[in-house]
Amino acid sequence: MLNWNSLLSHKRLGIDETLHTSEDAARSQFQRDYDRIIFSSPFRRLQNKTQVFPLPGSVFVHNRLTHSLEVASVGRSLGNIIANGLAERHVNVPQSLLDGIGSIVSAACLAHDLGNPPFGHSGEKAISRYFSEIDTNNIRELLTASQFQDFINFEGNANAFRLLTHQFSGRRKGGFALTYATIGTLLKYPCTSSDIANNNSPYEKYGVFQTELATLQHVAQELGLQAITDSGTVFGRHPLVFLMEAADDICYQIVDLEDAHRLGILSSQQTKDLLFAFFDPKADAKALDELHVLLHDVSDENEQIVILRSRTINKLIDDCAAIFWEHYDDIMNCRFYSSLTKQLQGASKQALQDIQHIASNKIYNSREVVEIQVAGHRILSELLHEFITAALKNNSLYTEQLLRLLPTQLVYANANTYSHICSVVDYVAGMTDVYALEIYRKIKGISFSVIR
């Protein structure tokens, strides 16, 4: 069974254990993780990365940054609820560590999308498609099967783990040097792409590239995460991962609905009906009465939807916390592999399924979304081709100048082929939508102006 004293480790990756980690009277170690992420360049770049809809024109919709902040808020609430529950169960853990659970979950939530490439989730598919279908440099023959597997199934979760833990050129050991507790809470899929390809994992995706496999094993050892296969590369989840995942699921399902309404894809009445459906007329009668009283005094439909969205998120937070406790023993013994939202019952389960159906038909396949996905495929494929070709065949003034665009932290002395390709993918995946379009136009000779 997992041990909370190990799971809530405030030691930091890459920091020598013999060195004293200074304490700050104003901030816990876990709050310092949150601050370290929010002040970082990768986090700021999320403001120009698509969440679902294209970046805003006259109507503001969510981007990756606003989404991450909202997920962190929901995650903090879930973490605090579970911390209070653990205290009531009198677990043998110092109160100072229990008090930090909300900060741990919110920090992991804040970082959960840092590895996502530009142009929404289609960016992941675009990178994978380049290596599996478009590449003309015969990269498959230059890499091991495991290395190539990472590229043909590029995963933003694994890229976030790399971004936060990898020692890039000229940077400190341990990447962001976060606490083990926060890193563990971010590890949604603690396995490799090879484990998925070989059906050696209970997870639907993977969360660690080959370059960070040793880091995964080290983090798992520090936290006491259990290896669940003989390969030694697949581990049980940290319990707080379920809270981070639930916060993400709640926000993107509910907030995508709100964005669709603001863009006119869904009517006000459709949106309100979908949100009201989360409340059972009998089981949630008191909450519904309070909601109707509150909405009676509000005539603005946008504000009504804001109120409905808030109450719906609060309900889902309580539902997911209850599900966590219902499956607590299995979670602590690494026998639970579902997300908390997939275990919703009754009105909440049906309402979420209805939203998912509408999202698939009307939101994710709307013209605006499809257009950005098509553009993303073309832009990312071209960028990868130009930079990877230059890295592998740096034999001209053009390729030499092109490689000068790579940030210094991605340039390694005596790098091998695999490292060169990793550097290019790091560069492209880290781009914002705007910057990717700008560089694409410049290297294609289309424009020299900055795209705003």
DSSP conformation class of 192: B
Note whether 105 and 60 are same-domain residues: yes
pLDDT band at 281 (very low <50, low <70, confident <90, very high): very high
Domain boundary among 190, 223, 256: 223
Return contacts of 97-102, CB within 8 angstroms, 24+ apart.
Answer: 97/4, 97/5, 97/8, 97/10, 98/8, 99/28, 100/8, 100/10, 100/28, 100/29, 100/30, 100/31, 100/181, 101/8, 101/240, 102/75, 102/76, 102/77
Alpha helices in 241-358 (DSSP H): 241-262, 268-276, 285-296, 301-326, 328-332, 346-358
Note whether 164 and 103 are same-domain residues: yes
Q: Is 358 within the bounds of a domain?
A: no
Note whether 64 and 173 are same-domain residues: yes
In this predicted model, what pLDDT tens digit does every residue of 142-162 receive, in sequence order?
Answer: 999 999 999 999 999 999 999
The answer to whether 48 touches 432, Cβ cutoff 8 Å, is yes
pLDDT at 55: 47
Name the average pLDDT for the chain: 89
Note whether 86 and 133 are same-domain residues: no
Both structure tokens of 385: 């081709």
Domain housing 94: 4-118+145-223
Note whether 130 and 174 are same-domain residues: no
Q: Is 234 within the bounds of a domain?
A: no
Q: Is 110 within the bounds of a domain?
A: yes
SS3 content of the chain, % helix, strand, coil (to 5): 60, 0, 35
Note whether 154 and 204 are same-domain residues: yes
Domain boundary among 178, 193, 223: 223
Look at the chain and report how many structural domains it folds into.
3
Note whether 372 and 406 are same-domain residues: yes
Q: How many CB atoms lie within 10 A of CB 396?
A: 10
Nearest C-alpha neighbor of 248 from the set 443, 116, 376:
116
Q: Is 353 within the bounds of a domain?
A: no
Instruction: Provide CB contacts within 8 A for 135, sequence distance 6+.
Output: 385, 388
Both structure tokens of 361: 């038909």
Which domain CATH number covers 213? Answer: 1.10.3210.10
Note whether 446 and 307 are same-domain residues: no
pLDDT band at 51 (very low <50, low <70, confident <90, very high): low
Segment 92-99 shows an average pLDDT of 92
Note whether 150 and 89 are same-domain residues: yes
pLDDT band at 194 (very low <50, low <70, confident <90, very high): very high
Note whether 73 and 139 are same-domain residues: no
Instruction: Provide CB contacts within 8 A for 408, sequence distance 6+.
Output: 169, 170
Which domain CATH number covers 400? Answer: 1.10.3550.10
What SS3 class is residue 235?
strand
Domain boundary among 172, 195, 223: 223
pTM above 0.85, yes or no: yes
In this predicted model, what pLDDT tens digit does every residue of 200-228 receive, in sequence order?
Answer: 999 999 999 999 999 999 999 999 999 99
Q: Cα(257)–Cα(183) distance, rounded to whole angstroms?
A: 30
Q: Cα(210)–Cα(193) distance, rounded to whole angstroms?
A: 8
Note whether 431 and 301 are same-domain residues: no
Segment 346-368 shows an average pLDDT of 84
Note whether 198 and 260 are same-domain residues: no
Which domain CATH number covers 308? Answer: 1.10.3410.10
Task: Name residue 345's amino acid.
Answer: Q
Both structure tokens of 152: 């043909």
Handedness of CA 180, 184, 186, 189 (dihedral sign): positive
Q: Is 235 within the bounds of a domain?
A: no
